[in-house]
Chain A
Amino acid sequence: MTTAVAASRALPATRRVELRKPLPTWKVWLVRAFAVALFAIFWEAGANLADSLLIPTFSSTMVALWETTFVTGEIWGPLAISNLSFLLGYPIAVIVAVPLGLAMARWKRFDKAFSPIVAVSLALPIAPLIPVVLIAMGLGITPRIFIIFLFAWVFIATNVRAGVRAVDKPLIEMASSFGASERVIWWKILIPGATPAIMTGLRTGLGRAFAGMVIVELIMLPVGIGALMLDYRGFFQADLLYATTIAVVIEAVVLAMLMQRLERRLLKWK
């Protein structure tokens, strides 16, 4: 009664069209190294030409970076202080914004209720709010966490919402035809289907949260890495100022890369 017909008789699977030819890994790294070297050369030459107390050369910045991380180690304490607020603020933003985005996508009432707030938050620059928040919340870690939250949440919520809205409607109908409950539709259809957009939201939110962490320390509440940078500026230690900036950038890039790796793992079906 079984009629198994060789699947090879069916049409071959479609292949993806590559817009650009892929590069071998070693070439990728070669190109990257070349770009960095070029940038370093221009920096070195430009700084030597300018000959200013405020513009360190590339080489002196690298030396300063080495010293502040491995010799004196003076970057670690402030970096830890800054990261503590980030490590609290970003997860809170995720925990609030992901369910909010999901709810907005699925229930009109939530959508209507929150869409004005979302629209305002998307348009509003957060930095001018920092003094207001500090007045309301004092000078502890709470206002810093709150500002990081403010920086990140709306980008997470809007991406999650868009992701759920973009899930193929026939998939929902298909699941109901097999007797899926609302809960099953959430876990088996909406959330997996929205995962690419959720990840985009998390990645964008991460960058925003990180920016928020540095900005609040630089402009109003000098603690952590922001305070360190302000000190270096005050003492004209331009090489250390640049080195610290680079260290912060490296951390941001590493976080983004970890995020991307997680994303790839979750989305290997793409």
Chain B
Amino acid sequence: MISIKDVSHRYTAKGREETVALSNVNLEIEDNEFVTIIGPSGCGKTTLMRAVGGLVQPTEGEITIDGQRVTGPHQQAAVVFQNFALLPWASILDNVAFGLELQGMGKADRIAKAEQYIKRVGLSGFERKYPRELSGGMQQRVGLARALAVETPILLMDEPFGALDQQTRRYMQEELIQIWEGDRRTVIFVTHDMEEAVLLGDKVVLMSARPGKIEEVIDVDIARPRDPEAVERSEVFAEKKEYLWRRLREMYQVTA
């Protein structure tokens, strides 16, 4: 279980006023839960996700994972990055095996494991290719496989499909649902796409900006396994999406 208690984060960029990225955030995330975080830009959603991964040390409050306090990057979580963050000089196989290599896993073992996850994300046959030879959607599958391969209980996804075109994004969402339902982890998924938030999440965490705080946690009571097309036709989906938009619109009216 991830427990976020009274977390605030402020920082001062050079020559600017202090920014309050997070203010008094409290959130509990159960094991194997899929949580999406949505909010206007500047609401600290990415900061919150990074704090769980130990990439940011919040100035106040604490985050614990199964009772262990997070003080830096740790072996409990793996991150999927918005811009893929693939090593351009390494083959797909080496990219997927990168996290395992850093863990000190032997060559034969990590290759076997990397191949297994390459297969899972549907990239068999591309092991020897370099990232630039792949499309954006395929590159993000590599990013996903790399994060899955280290087999951490937590997966942190930072707008992973944000850089993809609409159709590819939609297709990747479907695949992510399938992969996740077959291999459950705790997921924190940051997005700015309302449909994506509802389609994927068990819970949608709605945040507001300046200062970044949690407005509401919305349960998405749609059963698993989810059939994306059926979900999209369902009333619950339309209802949740509408509700999210209403809340987000209020926020924009306040700030704009």
Contacts and interface: CB of A to CB of B under 8 A. Distances in A.
A13 interface: yes
Nearest to A168: B85
A171 B85 contact: yes
Contact of B87 (A10, A171, A177): A171
Contacts of A177: 53, 55, 73, 77-79
Given A192-B87, A195-B89, A13 B102 contact: no
Interface string A188-204: 11001101000000000
Contact of B102 (A10, A12, A168, A178): A178
A99 B182 CA distance: 48
Interface in B105-163: 119-120, 122-126, 129-130, 132-138, 141, 150
Contact of B85 (A2, A11, A173): A173
B81 interface: yes
Q: Interface residues of A toward B: which range? A: 20 to 34
A269 interface: yes
Given A5-B175, A179-B103, A10 B81 contact: no
A22 interface: no
Interface residues of B, number: 45
A11 B119 CA distance: 17
Interface string A213-234: 0000000000000000000000
A3 B87 contact: no
A3 B175 contact: yes
Given A12-B135, A13-B134, A14-B135, A7 B73 contact: no
B81 A179 contact: no
Contacts of B87: 171, 188-189, 192
A170 B85 contact: yes
A174 interface: yes
B168 interface: yes
Nearest to A189: B87
B99 interface: yes
Interface in A1-22: 1-7, 9-14
A195 B179 CA distance: 36
Given A176-B73, A192-B87, A269-B88, A2 B119 contact: yes
A134 interface: no
A179 B120 contact: no
Contacts of A12: 135
Contacts of A14: 132, 135
A87 B124 CA distance: 48
A92 interface: no
A268 to B, nearest CB: 8
Contact of B133 (A1, A13, A188): A13
Interface of A: 1-7, 9-14, 168, 170-171, 173-180, 184, 188-189, 192-193, 195, 267, 269
Given A7-B124, A170-B85, A177-B53, 16 more contacts: A4-B120, A5-B178, A7-B138, A10-B122, A10-B141, A10-B171, A11-B136, A14-B132, A168-B85, A170-B83, A171-B85, A174-B85, A177-B73, A178-B73, A179-B74, A179-B75
In the A-B complex, list the 5 residue pairs whose CB atoms are closest, starting with the nearest.
A1-B182, A174-B85, A5-B122, A11-B135, A3-B178
7 contacts: A3-B122, A7-B141, A10-B168, A173-B55, A180-B102, A188-B101, A269-B130
